[in-house]
Amino acid sequence: MEKIEGKDGDSRSSMKIRNLINKTDNSKLQALDPETLEPGPCSSAHAKSDPVTGDVYNFNLEFGRDPTYRIFRVSASTGQTSILATLHAAAAYIHSFCLTENYVILCVWNSFHVAGGLKVLWTRNIVDALSYDSTRPARWYVIDRRPPDEGGRGLVAVYESDAFFCFHTANSYEQPSSSGKGKDIVADLIIYNNINCLTHFYLENLMSTASSASPKPAHLSYTTRLTRFRLPCVPAAESMDIKSPSRAVIEFQTDPDEIFELPTLNPHYVTHPHRYIYGVRHTNNSTFFDGLVKYDTVTHRITGWNEHGQSASEAIFIPRKSEDGAEEYDEDDGVLLSVVLNGNTNKSYLLVLDAKTMTEVARADTNGAIGFGFHGTHVPDIGGKGLDF
């Protein structure tokens, strides 16, 4: 892996961003100049970061007859990479994983690479080389976040749940177990009942000149739900019997008619219990996301924003900041930023919503259309740690 050299901040910039990285599901990262956004050298893969230490956690997958996952940590203080665990499991397309204060949770869900990944050689794309098997359970691997030389236990527990596919995890955290032994892991994910959603993003399925939405064809039929899983009784000291997985329990799910994706939350609550989750919604009034949504995990109430002909992108939460650090604000006290495409003018604008009420605060128009991407980030002009979740 080639080391990406950061740039020193200077007197012209208060941001002091040393590294800015562009990522996809490919096995490479693209370094960008933090001021000009010009591309630089490439290195490897998708990650999550600890909100306190800044340590980065990730995994890579080695294809072959016995596929191998390696879960690793990159220390923010030393830059050293440590392998936390190595495990063998079915090769799957995994876009996101879970992180708590003490554990990395890798769920191998049902988006399997056919023939151990070899099928992509003749399909020439990943989507057509994947399969979904509703009879095979999803398997959750819980890994100690500490490396072995710091007392880490490696793989400490394995769980199973019914088959599902997932793009994005929302948040995960730990709670004392009701049994009094160890802790439970709570994980909120957006799950699908198949992988048909992958073909939804083909250009021919997104383009439409019709004045109203038409029913989905069979090959685009799927349901999606925000789902809370609980992994009970993760042992605090010893490890579970890895050969006999425990059962992951579903605590609640949203209505399948409420299509909800790209989940975000107040970044102060990452790896901690949260109440509110934000996302984009698809009400079938267009061929793409057509609104923004706020979900209350306590009351299960859904509020949202949408306007006809407007296609929203990921909602990025910006929490209200205390001037002196002494004030405490509600979890949903802040604003949401979303780049929205106006289908009537074919131009984009930056939408600012009150995160409490989901009402518009302001919008900033642009002179053209801004290309859609899955994710964005907010970079404060006063510096601070970057957070990837």
Tell me, what's the pLDDT at 13?
36
- Which 8-state DSSP code applies to residue 67? -
Tell me, what's the pLDDT at 8?
45
In this prediction, residue 211 has a pLDDT band, given cuts at 50, 70 and 90, of low
Tell me, what's the pLDDT at 29?
60
- Tell me the two tokens of residue 374: 């899955």
Range name among 160-169, 240-249, 339-348 with the lowest pLDDT average:
240-249
| Mean pLDDT, the chain, whole residue set | 83
268 φ/ψ angles, rounded to the nearest 5 degrees = -70, -15
Mean pLDDT calculated for residue range 95-115: 93
**Domain ranges (residues) in the chain:** 46-256, 258-389
- With H, G, I as helix, E, B as strand and everything else as coil, classify residue 219: helix
What is the β-pairing status of strands 246-247 and 155-161? parallel
Rg over alpha carbons for the chain, rounded to the nearest Å, is 21
Mean pLDDT calculated for residue range 340-355: 93
The answer to whether the annotation marks 375 as part of a ligand binding site is yes
Mean pLDDT calculated for residue range 185-214: 78
Transcribe 153-216 into DSSP letters.
-SEEEEEEES--EEEEEEEEEEEE-TTSSSEEEEEEEEEESSSGGGGGGSHHHH----SS--PP
The answer to whether the annotation marks 95 as part of a ligand binding site is yes
Is the pLDDT reported for residue 3 higher than 80?
A: no
Count H helices, E strands: the chain? 2, 27
Range name among 164-173, 265-274, 284-293 with the lowest pLDDT average:
284-293
CA separation for the pair 16, 5 (Å, rounded): 14
Instruction: Give ∠ CA 149-232-276 in degrees, rounded to 5.
Output: 95
Name the residue with higher pLDDT: 210 or 114: 114
The answer to whether the annotation marks 308 as part of a ligand binding site is no
Is the pLDDT reported for residue 56 higher than 70?
A: yes
CA separation for the pair 194, 173 (Å, rounded): 26
The answer to whether the annotation marks 268 as part of a ligand binding site is no
